[in-house]
């Protein structure tokens, strides 16, 4: 990933890096943060697809957004 061979994660890394430059996120290892975000969302999606949530897709999306918001608050600069 650090070799920038992932088009999807490259975009995410660029955004996270820009947020760190602006001071919106604490300075840290960009790629570790990106992998944490990916793992976080991926975990939710795997659980969703396995039928572990009894909610609509809209409710699920809102749950993931709330969860990401909490994660970002912890990373905020």
Query: What's the pLDDT tens digit per position in 20-49?
Result: 999 999 999 999 999 999 999 999 999 999
SS3 assignment, position 55 = coil
Spatial contact of 34 and 12, defined as CB atoms under 8 Å apart: yes
**Residue partners of 58: CB distance under 8 A and separation at least 6:** none
- Judged against a pLDDT cut of 90, whether residue 75 lies above it is answered with no
Residue for token digits 């570790």? 32
42's tokens: 């991926």
Please measure the distance between the N-terminal and C-terminal CA atoms of the chain and give it in whole angstroms.
24
pTM here is: 0.82
């Amino acid at each position: 990933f650090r070799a920038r061979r992932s088009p999807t994660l490259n975009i995410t890394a660029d955004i996270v890096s820009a947020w760190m430059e602006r001071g919106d996120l604490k300075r840290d290892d960009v790629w570790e943060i990106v992998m944490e975000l990916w793992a976080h969302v991926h975990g939710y999606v795997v659980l969703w697809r396995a039928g572990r949530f009894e909610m609509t897709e809209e409710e699920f999306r809102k749950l993931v957004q709330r969860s990401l918001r909490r994660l970002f608050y912890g990373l905020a600069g």
